[in-house]
Amino acid sequence: MIESIKNIFSIPDLRKRVVFTFLMVAVYRVGGHIPVPGIDFHALEAFFRQQGGGILGFLDLFSGGNLRRLTVFALGIMPYISASIILQLLTVIWPYLEKLSKEGEVGRKKITQYTRYGTIVLSLIQGLGIAFWLESITGTGAGGVVLHPGWAFRAMTVLTLTTGTAFIMWVGEQISERGIGNGISLIIYAGIVAGLPSAVVTLWQDLTTGNLGALSLLLLLALMVGVVAAIVWVERAQRKIPVQYARRVVGRRMYGGMQTHMPLRLNTGGVIPVIFASSVLAFPLTFIQWTGWQNTEIGGTIYRQLDYTMPLHNILYLAAIVFFCYFYISIIFNPMDVADNMKKYGGFIPGIRPGRRTAEFLDTILTRLTFVGAIYLGLIALLPTVLISGLNVQSLPWVGSALDRILPGFLTQGMGLKFYFGGTSLLIVVGVAMDTIQQVESQLIMRHYDGFLKGARIRGRRG
């Protein structure tokens, strides 16, 4: 490991990319301590403590703690992710965007530009919603959270938060272009990892005060190690489809005649479906809370049922993950195009006729792999709910009481752990870390240096 780190700094281009990535992440973390003007932060902190998690805690996780502190980066990267989801959905139903997506680099740049415009529009809307929501918070002690309510405060908040989100978007794009790894994913990764020290301190305090037993701590650590091992194993799992290329004679040279394989990953979408599903489910809850609709009878019922501790939210979350797994795969992998390209270069899958039959075969394999990968992502994403508060199945109509009696107590009531570093956050942290290390590994191998995963890399090549 030490030798591999030395190799990184022995390559000028790779060294510049790594240093640039660290500097951009450092800039993001510094900006996370610049507060929005006109806020009583003691009252805001008291409000968050009264909430005890909920949807605010969930959104605060993805903003890296910036929402709780209400910094200029309080909106985080979520508007950009939401705009990306909207553009990808429109790509399927709008012929103009579908045509752009097939125009290569030029079309991709135009879609990226539209995504930026969408991010600004969503940031303006969400920033105004946050301003109204802050003005509606009362009963936190000496007074409200906002020191001087009014349109001056709302305009300042909208301008500050929108500028912060635009800057984060720019930082993410710069990391992707001039650094190492996916910039947007690394920003989310940095925000989650930044909460680790305080989570560890809280865990230690609970252990010393007796709120958490030593046996529970050991079980938690064993569970985390097991989950990390499972994530690494599944993320590296793939189905290898054998591909044979026929021999072709061009002039005096002979081409083809070799056998290779097409790797199809078990979880092709990575952490993208989880992030998309989280964004979609967080939107109605955020809208209801910011507009104060939860104080009405209908709005309050919807808000309670969609809370992340309720069974309805878990069911919708799992369904959204499955949907986005298939949706994302349908965008990045077209079996018909792959089959046509394979046929064009004289390639075929042994026992499968080239053309449409090959496309149907690949589509069947990919559908089965995606289903298994989606269930895996859903189970991992629901893990924090089990750790903290349980599945709360007793609130389900008709079958709730029966399920509560049948299922084990740790599933229905939870384990009461406050260490919110599992499931979605753990999946993002491990997935982004693996993708980043893989990119560094590729750069090292390309320049004939030993990488981090020597043994695994050799076995993977020979397998």
pTM: 0.73
Q: How high is the pLDDT of residue 167? A: 93
Q: For residue 274, give Cα distances in angstroms to 104, 156, 271, 321.
A: 27, 33, 5, 6
Q: What value does the mean pLDDT of the chain take?
A: 78
Per-residue confidence band for 162, with pLDDT thresholds at 50, 70 and 90: very high
**% the chain with pLDDT above 90:** 11
Neighbours of 16 (CB within 10 A): 12
**What CA–CA distance (Å, rounded) separates 110 from 95?**
14
CA-to-CA dists, residue 242 to 18, 235, 245, 254, 350, angstroms: 36, 21, 10, 21, 7
114 Cβ partners below 8 Å, 6+ apart? 87, 97
| pLDDT at residue 453 tops 60 | no
Residue type, 279: S
Percent of the chain having pLDDT more than 70? 80
Higher pLDDT, 410 or 310: 310
The answer to whether 257 and 286 have CB atoms below 8 angstroms apart is no
Q: How many helices (H) and strands (E) does the chain have?
A: 22, 5
The CA-atom distances, in angstroms, between 285 and each of 35, 54, 257, 274, 278 are: 24, 10, 57, 17, 11
Assigned token pair, 242: 């054998």
Which H helix or E strand runs over 212?
none
- Domains of the chain (ranges plus CATH)? 1-194 (1.10.3370.10)
What is the distance between the alpha carbons of residues 363 and 357, in angstroms, rounded to a whole number?
10
Place of tokens 């080239």: 354
- Pair type for strands 347-348 and 259-265: unpaired
The tally of CA atoms less than 13 A away on the side-chain side of residue 131 is 25
Convert the pLDDT of each residue in 327-378 to its tens digit.
888 878 888 888 888 888 778 888 888 888 999 999 999 999 999 999 988 8
Count of alpha carbons within 13 angstroms of residue 297, beta-carbon side? 0
The whole-number pLDDT of residue 3 equals 66
Max CA distance (Å), the chain: 89
Model pLDDT for residues 225-281, shown as the tens digit of each residue: 888 888 888 888 888 888 887 766 666 666 556 778 888 888 887 777 887 887 788
CB 294 within 8 A of CB 56: no
**pLDDT tens-digit readout, 165-186:** 999 999 988 998 888 888 888 8
Residues facing residue 242 across a β-bridge = 261
- In the block, tokens 């003005």 appear at 135
Question: DSSP labels for 258-284?
Answer: -EEEEEEETTTTTTHHHHHHHHHHHHH
pLDDT mean over 103-120: 87
What is the rounded distance in angstroms from the CA atom of residue 91 to the CA atom of residue 100? 9
Q: Specify the amino acid at residue 246.
A: A
Distance of alpha carbon 283 from alpha carbon 277, whole angstroms: 10
